[in-house]
Amino acid sequence: MNTTPIIDNNIWQPEFECMAHSERKALQLEYLQGAVSRSLRNPFYKKAFADKGVSVDQIKSLDDLQRLPLTTKADLRDNYPLGFMGIPRNEVSRYQGTSGTTGKPTWVAYTKNDVENWSNLCARFLVSGGLKKEHTVQLSFGFGLFTGGFGLHFGIEKVGAAIIPISSGNSDRQLTCMHDLAPEILICTPSYALKLMDTIQGGDIARSDLRLEHAFFGGEPWTENMRTRIEEGLKIRCWNNYGLAEVQGPGVSGECAYRNGMHIQEDHFIFEVIDPDTLEPLPDGEQGEIVITPLRREGFPVIRYRTRDIGYIINDGVCSCGRTTRRMSRISGRTDDMMIIRGVNVFPSQIETALMRIDSVAPHYMIEISRPNAMDEITVHIEIKPDMFSDSMIEMHKTKREIGAAIHSITGLNMNIDLVSPNTLKRFEGKAKRVVDHRNLVD
């Protein structure tokens, strides 16, 4: 465990973050009972609890959590659009969205209280990672349904720092802004930081003319190697945090001044790590699928949500920062085929849906992801079928464009389309392996 801080050690809500274990456990149990009651407004949980023979009054200790049903992305999809909402519509203050597996988003609702909690939880990791009231922050996450933009905005506002809501894209404008408004802090995806780094190295604005000191990265998986590369290349310090829309968005966990993993906001979330095959719980320190139960959410109360993210829990005593919460590792992979490309969640099934718009039976395909320079690039290799083929080059280009447009309309991403001969892509026994990722996201 690191015992030397890299930056000043500040804590946003010490009353919760540094709470004694016993006190937090009591609080978690009380909140868990509330979360379960709220979830029972949803017919899905009514049935799932009945199937398991559990009722709210049987939840007498935190161990009883194990008796509750798990929730998957597929359950959310089956109850589209708002089956998981825990409140009447007129109590919703905000909707956000995240990509679903079929082309339709997963909608999540927030009450006023949810937004207030979300703001404080984002403020917690921002402050623990070095944000101060006197700072100016360039917020280069997309503002829209993606929880990154607004979540961080709320957190920065809470801390009282100045926000430049520049949103994503347009590197030249980003750099001009970074130069002219002189923010100390940048928030973006790590791959976008790499792109900015290249733009600075080849452009008119010199690094020495920027005040930039610090960055918070999120929205996609990254590694310690990437951290070193960006910290050396941009001469900044970068902080990691974690979250997902299904349980809130950013603010679920984040690094402190000592960088001993990401502190889990355990007064708001109960973390479990399970074996994704047997669904049995795994002890702290063992790698598995992260399962999260948000305790305070009103708008979207999910129980034991299977994130599909792979990681482990660090529980080696109280961190030097003074926080008593357990910490989590970086995300090292996924238990499904979900890809995170330039901060956007993409599922192979979405590509399949797009291909079926061109031809009712989707051709065999394979997805290849690489990061040739700074940005993720994705190529869809498609085995051509007779009815997709034409003797006219104009028609062939049209077909390629149509496939690209269908994929874009479902995923929001531009992908390279590569047509290949039939039976040339590798076949796999059993479950088709559709994704080849060359990005090397694990150190």
What's the chain's length in residues? 443
418 touching other proteins, by CB under 8 A: yes
Which listed option, Zn ion, other proteins, none, makes contact with residue 424 (CB within 5 to 8 Å by class)? Answer: other proteins
Q: Which is nearer to other proteins, 20 or 394 (CB)?
A: 394
Residue 239 and residue 215: Cα distance in Å, rounded?
A: 6
Considering only the stretches 13-21, 52-60, 145-153, 422-430, report the one whose residues sit in contact with other proteins under the rule CB under 8 A. 422-430
**Which of 68, 319, 344, 403 forms a contact with Zn ion (CB under 5 A)?**
319
Considering only the stretches 81-89, 272-280, 347-355, 391-399, report the one whose residues sit in contact with other proteins under the rule CB under 8 A. 391-399
Q: Which is nearer to other proteins, 81 or 404 (CB)?
A: 404
Q: How far is the CB of 228 from other proteins (least distance, A)?
A: 36
Q: What token pair was written down for 193? A: 């930081």
392 touching other proteins, by CB under 8 A: yes
Considering only the stretches 40-48, 81-89, 246-254, 416-424, report the one whose residues sit in contact with other proteins under the rule CB under 8 A. 416-424
Q: Which is nearer to other proteins, 207 or 401 (CB)?
A: 401
Which listed option, other proteins, Zn ion, none, makes contact with residue 440 (CB within 5 to 8 Å by class)? Answer: none
Q: How far is the CB of 417 from other proteins (least distance, A)?
A: 9
Residue 394: exposure state from Cβ atoms within 10 A (0-12, 13-18, ≥19): exposed
Contact letters for Zn ion, residues 255-294 (x by CB under 5 A)? -x-x------------------------------------
401 touching other proteins, by CB under 8 A: no
Q: How far is the CB of 344 from other proteins (least distance, A)?
A: 25
Judge whether 92 and 65 are in contact, CB under 8 Å: no
Q: Please work out the total of residues on this chain that contact other proteins, with binding judged by CB under 8 A.
A: 17
What's the count of helices (H) and strands (E) in the chain, helices before strands? 11, 21
Q: How far is the CB of 72 from other proteins (least distance, A)?
A: 38
Q: How far is the CB of 413 from other proteins (least distance, A)?
A: 19
**Which of 274, 314, 321, 403 forms a contact with Zn ion (CB under 5 A)?**
321
Which listed option, other proteins, Zn ion, none, makes contact with residue 390 (CB within 5 to 8 Å by class)? Answer: other proteins
Which listed option, Zn ion, other proteins, none, makes contact with residue 321 (CB within 5 to 8 Å by class)? Answer: Zn ion
**Which of 423, 429, 430, 431 forms a contact with other proteins (CB under 8 A)?**
423
Residue 435 and residue 70: Cα distance in Å, rounded?
A: 26
Which listed option, other proteins, Zn ion, none, makes contact with residue 393 (CB within 5 to 8 Å by class)? Answer: other proteins
Contact letters for other proteins, residues 358-387 (x by CB under 8 A)? --------------------------xxx-
**Which of 180, 278, 394, 431 forms a contact with other proteins (CB under 8 A)?**
394
390 touching other proteins, by CB under 8 A: yes
> Taking Cα atoms as reference points, which of 160, 202, 319, 329 lies closest to residue 261?
329
Task: Return the SS3 of 138.
Answer: strand
Q: Facing residues of 106 across strands?
A: 98
Considering only the stretches 161-169, 212-220, 401-409, 415-423, report the one whose residues sit in contact with other proteins under the rule CB under 8 A. 415-423
């937004």: which residue's tokens? Answer: 115
Residue 375 and residue 415: Cα distance in Å, rounded?
A: 12
Residue 356 and residue 327: Cα distance in Å, rounded?
A: 43
**Which of 420, 425, 432, 433 forms a contact with other proteins (CB under 8 A)?**
420
Which listed option, Zn ion, other proteins, none, makes contact with residue 384 (CB within 5 to 8 Å by class)? Answer: other proteins
- The number of C-alpha atoms within 13 Å of 84 and in the hemisphere containing its C-beta is 27
Binding site for other proteins (CB under 8 A): 384-386, 389-394, 396, 418-424
Binding site for Zn ion (CB under 5 A): 256, 258, 319, 321, 323
